[in-house]
Structure formats: C-alpha cells, structure tokens
Structure 1
Amino acid sequence: MQALPDPLPKGNIVAVVGSGAMGSGIAQVAASAGHQVLLFDTRPDAADKAILEIGKTYAKLVEKGRMAALDADQARARLQRIGTLQEASAAALVVEAIVENLDAKRALFLELEGVVGDDCILATNTSSISVTAIAAPLRRPERLVGMHFFNPVPLMALVEVISGIATDKAVADTVYATAESWRKNPVHAKSTPGFIVNRVARPYYAESLRLLLEQAGDPATIDAVLRDCGGFRMGPFELMDLIGHDVNFSVTNSVYDAYFGDPRFTPSILQQELVNAGFLGRKTGRGFYRYGEGVEKPAVQTEAPQAKPESVSIVGNESDAIAALAARLAAAGYALPREETLDAAPGFVCNGAAVYLTDGRSATERAAESWHDDTVVYDLLLDASGATRIALARADQCSDAAYHAVVGMFQAAGFAVTRLDDVPGMAVMRTVAMLANEAADAVNQGVCSARAVDIAMQKGVNYPRGPLAWADSVGLEHIVAVLSNLAATYGEDRYRVSPLLRRKIAANPHGATFHAS
C-alpha cells in the first residue's frame, strides 16, 4: 500500500504574498493550523491592517466559544508582517494571492525563485490563470502548484490543488496533505480553463439566462424554482447579482475564450446588456433585481388554488422517480390504481391529463408525439418528499380544465405550484443535466476524478448534491435523454452528450452510475 503524503510540519514557515481578502484569509487559516506566517504586501500598512483584522476575528471566535483563548493568542502571535520578499527566504511554502494578472504573477515567482530555498514550494491562488503558464519562465517550474482557495477562506472548505504540466506530483501531494491538515477539503485537478468549479458551474448561470431569454419565467420565479425545487442555496439571478455581473460575465468570457469558442460556454446577451448599462448587481443597487430602502421583493409566480381532482392513477413502468410523489398523493387520499396506457414512462393520469417528469422535450412536443393533447410535465425535485414547490409546464394543446386538475392534484399533495412557460427541459432538470454533463466531461478529459468534482461543487459553491451523484440519482439514461432532446430541439452543439455518459450506459444499460453504492 502506497504511503500517504505528509503535510508541511507545523514548525515550517508559510509566507503569504498579498494581504487582501484572499491573502489575509489564507494567513488566518495557516496560523490557526500552527504555522508561523509571514505576510507581505507592497501596499503601505496593508499587511499590518490585515493582521489587526485577523486578530479581531480570532477574538470574535473566542467570544462565540469556537476557539480557545490560548489558541487564539498563539495563532495571533504566529502572524508577522515582513517588509521585503527577502525576509521570506526561510519559508517552506509561499502562497501568492495578488492581482489576477499573468505577468504580475510570473514576475513575483521569478523574484521568489531567487529568494527561497530549492525545497520551498511555490503556490498560486489563481482562480482562472493557467498554472502551466505561470510556471513556464521559472528555473524550476516543477515546484509551482495551484492552491486555489474560495472566498471567504476561513469558512469555505474547498481547496483546488492544481497541477500544471510541469508540476511535480510530490509537490501537489504535499500541498493536498497540507490543505487537509488545515481542515480543508482539497481536490486534485489539472490546469485547464476554469479548473473544476469555474468550469462546471457555468451551466448554472447559462441555462437560467437562456430560460429568461426564452421567457420561461421572470428572475424571481426561476430563482424560486431552483431554490425550492432544486435545493440550491441561492437562485442563479440573485447569485449573479451578489457576485457582480462584471465579474461573472468576465469569468464566462474567459472560459469561453479559453475553450476556443465552445458553444457550451457561450456568454449571454442579457448579461452583456446589464454590464453595458452598469447594472452590476448589489454593488450598484441594480442587476436583475433592484436594491435599496423600500424596494419590494418581486413576487414569485404561484398558481391560484384549484379544486382537488377526483381521479389520479399511476401509469407506465415501475420507477423510483415517482415513488415519493405517489406517497404524497396517497397521503392526500388518492388510491392511485395502476393503468397500462399512454407511453411506458412512469407518470400519473389526473382526470385524463397525462403528467410526466420532463425528459427534455417540451410538453407541447410530447403531447404531439403521444397523440395526447392534455399533457403536463413537471420539473426535477431534489427531494420530492419534502419539497414545498413544484414547477409545471403545460402543452399548448392542453385544456384549461385538464391543467387546473393537475394543479389541484399537486396542491392537494402540499405543493405550491409554479407554472413555467413550455420550454424544453424546464429549469432544474436542464440545469442539473448540463452540470452533470460538464462534470462528466471534466472526468473524461482527466481534469479530476468523479469524487473530486462532486466534492468541489458541494464544498466550493454549496450545491445541494454533487452533479454526478445527482445524475446517478436521476438515472444516467434519463440525463442522456434530456440532453439528447435538448440537442434535437435547439440543434446546438451546446447540448452534446459527454462521451463518458454514453460509455457508462453502454457498459451497464440499466444500472450505470458514477458512484457505485
């Protein structure tokens, strides 16, 4: 059995270059873990101010009972400002957290090579620049590695350990083990555009922007569906407003350009317009939402109460996909007899209306293909047993009476019902399918492991479930069907299916998974 790599011993010195939000957070975490930390910044008094603020943070942790007073005093004593890079000559690890500029980072590491010892590890906290490119001019590029923390560093668990082409495996392993010893959740990744998180997260924004462009719903409604049905902590539009559209749009453009215009990463003209207008989100008082005193929160579209329908039955093949919904309907008093009509997909019949989980086709298209006008589709639910909201789309051919019966059925089961316009794949399903597809491609291209991508998305951006674990739960066959139907509808390479998804299904047609139970 191969021995696990050792982290940097606590007695080793860690130097942090840059004392902004990221640099000071890294310094705080390293000092808390027992390292002497040297903090350097070219701005006058910046490092001193950062250390003062870190001390205040330690004091607050003591007040809240989350840190012992002695530990806080000792951690604070391990923080030291240095006035020149030459004072970092004894460091075993230098973490750079300066401006996101390739030339600036290269210049810094070239200078550090002449200061630190040959065994010192050089780490960059870059979120988007190629680690390979940063290391290229160095005399010993093999000792430079990405150590990408997430903001705020003390609270966010993820660290992406990024290996460039030249990075020595032992260096990456040591940084990984060190991050673990700092109570973080590290993941290994190759230096590719966006690394893991900034690449795999793009569909969360892109698909919702596409939904808004196609008038599936307003921002508040789409946000509510992603939160209440999908379990995401924040909806995409409120999250983009929080990040800032200048920042979010820039990252999207950067990834799009880095992948030579791959349509999967195409930026949105809607977000471009917000940037052009200077409506950057919370920081400017206006983005997709308005902010400020007296501004009312937009209402979420919710269907009016409808009468409880008399007849509900189950149709199609046995499936876990409808089990939790069936349990809620049974609790509402429905006997749920089985019917062998309509198509083989699992679903419900409500007063004659066919009700299915979306498979990437619009309800209108599905109704036409099944010769059943009264067709309604519902969106994916993270937890069908506990969700408070469900999103529906009705076929254009569907009668009002049939649709209202379906609304009444779900209301009887305890759901607030939101109607989205009949766009293919709806909101949660197409978002999860695209997240899983991008995650699968990252694994297929050797960027990271399936385990790493799921950890990264949960710990780095607080997703309720890793995208590949989520795909396992939905069923890889269904995810591929959704993507294939989206591709057929739009005729765009944007929705091409990852070869790894197809390979998984070919190897095990009825039980393919990324994470074997």
Structure 2
Amino acid sequence: MTALQPGIQPDRTVAVVGAGTMGQGIAQVALLAGHQVLLYDAAEGCAERAVRAVTGRLDRLVAKGRMRSAERDAAAGRLCPVRSLAQLAGAGLVIEAIVEQLPVKQKLFAELEAVVGQDCVLATNTSSLSVTAIGGALRHPGRFLGLHFFNPAPLLPLVEVVRGFATGEETAERARATMAAWGKTPVRCADTPGFVVNRIARPFYAEAFRVYEERGADPATIDAVLRECGGFAMGPFELTDLIGQDVNEAVTRSVYEAFSQDRKFTPSLAQRRLVEAGLLGRKSGRGWYEHGEGTGADAVRPEPHTAEPCAAPREVGYRGRLTGPAAVLPQMIGEAGVGGVAEPAGQAAAGGGEAGTGTGVGNGTGAAPDAHRPAPDGCIVLPGGTELRLADGRGPTNAARLGPRIDFDLALDYRTCTRVALAPSATAPEADVRAAIGLFQALGKKVSLVGDLPGMIVARTVAMLVDFAEDAAARGVAGAEDIDLAMRAGVNYPLGPVEWGRRLDTGWLIRFLRNMDREYPGGRYAPSQALRRRAALEESLVQS
C-alpha cells in the first residue's frame, strides 16, 4: 500500500493564476501559511495591482492588532507579481482562479504542464465546471484536482478538495493535508455538478424564490422566517444580494444544465428577471432589496410581516401526540399558562389523525398516501375546533376538506426560535386564526401570517435540503459527516442537513415530500431513493 503524502511544505512556492477577488484571497491564505507566493494574471498590470491590494489587507490586519508589523513585512516580502507563466516553473502548487470557461482553463493548464516540474500539483478553483473535463487534456491528469475556496477566501474556512476521475489518491491526500496546514477545513468530494455545497444548497434559494413567485410571502418575511424560525444566519434574498444575483443564478443554471435539466434544480424565473434588469444586489445598488447606488451597504429592508398582538386562548385541545421538534409545544403551552385537554384515545374529529410517532411510510403498501387523508401526526385543537398542525406538505385549504386547519412552520428549536409562521386555510374562522396567533405570542414568538401554500417556508426548505444530502451521500459525492461539515463551514447552516434529517421523523419527511409531490406533480419533490430506503430500514427496525 502506498504511503499517503504529507502536505506541500512552506518552503515550496505557491503560484496563483488569476488576480481577481478570489485569486487575491487565495494568495493571502497561502502567504500567511508561510509560502512564497507568485501571482500571475494575463491582463497587463493586474498582478501588480493585486499585490498592492493584498499588502493593503495585511496593513489592515496590523492596524486591527491581528498581525505584527514584522510578520506583515515578512509576508509582503514573499509576495511577488510575475509577467509570464514561465516564471512559475519552480512552484510546488499552482492554483487557477480565472474565468469560468472550460476551453480557457484547459488551455491554461496545458501551458502550465509544459512549464512546471513533475512533482507540482495543479489545481482549479472552479465552482461549477467539471474538474475531470478541465484536466482531460493534460498528459498527466493524476496530479490535477479541484481546490474550491469560498469567498472571501481568507475568512471562510471550507475548501472542497475535488477529486477528478483521473486524480491520483496521493495528489488528493497531499492537497487535503496542505489545506489543513493552511488552517482551512478541507472536505474531500467527488467531481459531480456543484460538488457538495453548490449542489445541496440549491433548495435554500429555490424554495424561497418559489414561495415568493406564488405570492406566499414577501422577501423580507421569508428571510425573517428562515432566520428567526429556521435558525439560518441569513435569508436567501439577503444572501443572494450579497453574493450577486448574476453569480448565484449562474451557479444554479450551471448545476441545472449539468443534471440534464432535472426539475429538482430548476432555476427561478424571478431571479432571472432580476439579472436581466441588471439588479444584481449590493454591487449594483439594488437587487431584492434597495442598497443605495454604489455604496455596497446593507439594505434598508422593509419590515417582515408581523401580526398584531392577539389574546391567547384559555385552553386548547390535543388530538394525538405531536412528534419531532413539535413534541415540546404542549409543555411550552402549559408553562405559558394555557390549559390543555387531550382527547380520549381513539376519539378524533373528521380532520383529526390517529395518534402515533412511528416512521411508517405511506399507507404500508408502498403507495403514496392520499393527500386528503388524516396524517398520523398529532395536532393542537383551537377553541373553535380548528386544527393547528405542523406543516405536512399539503396546502392548508386543500387539506381542509376534512375540517378547517392552520399550519405552523417547522422550527429548528421551538424553545429558542423568536418567530413562527402560520398559514390558515380559507375555511379557518377568524377567531381561531387570532387564537393561534395569540397562542404563539404567549410563547414569546413573533408571528408571521403567510399565504395558503403547501409546505410553508422552513419545512419545505429543510425537507429538500435533507433529501438532497441523503441523495448525495448515497451517490458517493461525499460522506455524510463531510457533507454536514461542508454545509456548516461553507454556508454556515445551523445544522448539517444529514444530522437535521436524523432529528426529524423520517416518516414525516417522506409524507411531507410525497404530499408536496402531489401538490406540485412532476418530480421536483419526489423523495429520493436514498431517503425512501432509510425510511424503510427504520420502519423494519421498529417492527422487528
């Protein structure tokens, strides 16, 4: 068995080709790891300007007390612009960060291969192109791989170490060890569209944009619900304004095309219109929000929809048993001074469901459950008889054929969240809508009323993230632990999606996605084989 190679040592030169924002960030990371760094750009004077920009950032680190002056001087002395690829001959690692065009990258690496030594590792920072395709024209593709940094590279810890079809194991391990030595969080993954983060993160944007397109809620409210109920650091509208609508939409479209236009990855028409209008976010002064022309400042956003104070009911009923994250709600309601009465076992109104927490999938036959049959999850019964239920993927009004209902959204943690979204059916009495608002306000939550749409906001987003992660793990894109690490370190999710899925009842996830698939036929929400397999395994373990 061949011994794994250590990382590239600090006495070896690192070269960065492409002196834009990403190239500058990568050069700074390598520089602070102790390497001599050569910076090349084909545009006249660009490398020199980039060196000045990087040294300016080092100066700011000194001013903030994060770096000593002597360290700054030593680092600046190791950074050098070069004017030809021939000057990179002695590099031990070359990282490319140029335009995302396959022929341009292929040509560059063919030229680099003729210049550098045989032990030099060649890496692309591509975020959307095939690593295998870029390296396909090389004579020795075994030393070529992807090192996908996240912007800003000096601040964000994640680096996806992408092994192309021909990448050697020693090259991949050597690159991983180097990234770890640079203080990064390396995650090894296969060369598939979007790698880990850009593949699995698509629903975070797509589901929010779909809610907006269906007039379920405005951007400020959707962002607030995902932050304050779902636990995400930023909402998708504010985040894409920061990234750039053109950049985010281009990645989405690239992944969509790479997956042969799979409907699970369908781009947003609303976002496409923003791009076509030149409303790109902070860099253009306006995107989903107004930012002020040329300021790059945070937007002065509209306030999210927040319900006015309502009186809490004196007492609510319970039908069945709430499960998963919602299981804590009866205790919280009791602590808030609201009484609760459980129905006798076996008694249920027309809209009620059977009690139970099992992970049963569908109706036990393998067929999708009827979208209008009672779900086996418990619910809260409001004074007027309306059921208050965790979103299950059915539209509230569609599901209300069995009686009026109000859906509440999934929360990361109902105790610590500060906002909850409610979606009343068209048949829900106004008095019960006010009672539901008052009930959650009594628990210390702000309440946002959203449109009568299937799956609400957090629930549909999380269910899709979990499904995408399970599918990626099953297909060998990366291990489950690495997927969770990548999503936490790369896009700052409050939980890795695989772990999040483990905390949720698998039966609920399957029922939720199957109901969504019935509401939106076409396969976008059909649960993956990997998730169905997991649910079947859990069910068999329960029954054994």
TM over 0.5: yes
Alpha-carbon distance, 1:319 to partner? 3.2
Q: Distance in 2 between matches of 1:47 and 1:32?
A: 18
Q: Which residue of the partner structure matches residue 302 of structure 1?
A: 306
Q: Distance in 1 between matches of 2:169 and 2:49?
A: 36
Q: Which residue of the partner structure matches residue 321 of structure 2?
A: 317
Q: Distance in 2 between matches of 1:323 and 1:444?
A: 30
* 2:514 and 2:526 in contact (8 A); partners too: yes
Alpha-carbon distance, 1:334 to partner? 2.5
Q: Distance in 2 between matches of 1:4 and 1:145?
A: 16
- Partner of 2:539, secondary structure, is coil
The answer to which of 114-123 and 291-300 deviates more is 291-300
Aligned match of 2:478 in 437, 448, 465?
Answer: 448
Alpha-carbon distance, 1:2 to partner? 9.8
What letter matches 1:359 in structure 2? D
Q: Which residue of the partner structure matches residue 455 of structure 2?
A: 425
Aligned match of 1:350 in 375, 382, 385?
Answer: 382
Q: Distance in 1 between matches of 2:522 and 2:212?
A: 18
Provide structure 1 residue ranges, at least 5 long, that are not aligned to the other structure.
513-517
* 2:324 and 2:504 in contact (8 A); partners too: no
Alpha-carbon displacement from aligned partner over 1:125-177 (angstroms, at most 9, x marks no partner) = 11111111111111101111000101000001110111111111110111111
Alpha-carbon distance, 1:190 to partner? 1.2
What letter matches 2:117 in structure 1? G
1:360 aligns with 2:393: yes
- Partner of 1:44, secondary structure, is coil
Q: Distance in 1 between matches of 2:80 and 2:148?
A: 23
Q: Distance in 2 between matches of 1:489 and 1:337?
A: 33
| Correspondences of 1:78-477 after superposition (within 5 Å) | 78-292=78-292, 297-317=301-321, 319-339=323-343, 340=345, 341=348, 342-343=352-353, 344=355, 345-351=377-383, 352-368=385-401, 371-373=402-404, 375-477=405-507
Q: Distance in 2 between matches of 1:115 and 1:325?
A: 65
Q: Distance in 2 between matches of 1:50 and 1:285?
A: 25
Alpha-carbon displacement from aligned partner over 1:275-325 (angstroms, at most 9, x marks no partner) = 233333333333222332898532311112111211124332363432433
Q: Give the CA RMSD over aligned residues.
A: 2.1
TM-score normalised by length of structure 2: 0.89
* 2:324 and 2:503 in contact (8 A); partners too: no
Identical amino acids, percent of aligned pairs: 47
The answer to which of 336-345 and 208-217 deviates more is 336-345
Alpha-carbon displacement from aligned partner over 1:391-429 (angstroms, at most 9, x marks no partner) = 001122111111111111111111111011111110010
Alpha-carbon displacement from aligned partner over 1:14-67 (angstroms, at most 9, x marks no partner) = 111111111111111111111121111222332222222222222322332323
The answer to which of 296-305 and 12-21 deviates more is 296-305
Q: Distance in 1 between matches of 2:289 and 2:400?
A: 36
Q: Which residue of the partner structure matches residue 497 of structure 1?
A: 527
The answer to which of 346-355 and 491-500 deviates more is 346-355
Alpha carbons of 1:46 and 1:502: their partners in 2 closer, same or farther (altered >3 Å)? same
* 2:306 and 2:446 in contact (8 A); partners too: yes
What letter matches 1:307 in structure 2? A
Alpha-carbon distance, 1:3 to partner? 6.7
**Number of residue pairs matched by the alignment:** 509
The answer to which of 107-116 and 245-254 deviates more is 245-254
1:482 aligns with 2:512: yes
What letter matches 2:272 in structure 1? Q
What letter matches 1:360 in structure 2? G
Q: Distance in 2 between matches of 1:181 and 1:199?
A: 27
Q: Distance in 1 between matches of 2:49 and 2:281?
A: 28
- Partner of 1:508, secondary structure, is helix
TM-score normalised by length of structure 1: 0.94
The answer to which of 418-427 and 499-508 deviates more is 499-508
Q: Distance in 2 between matches of 1:59 and 1:111?
A: 35
Alpha carbons of 1:324 and 1:4: their partners in 2 closer, same or farther (altered >3 Å)? farther
What letter matches 1:486 in structure 2? M
- Partner of 2:417, secondary structure, is coil
Provide structure 2 residue ranges, at least 5 long, that are not aligned to the other structure.
356-376
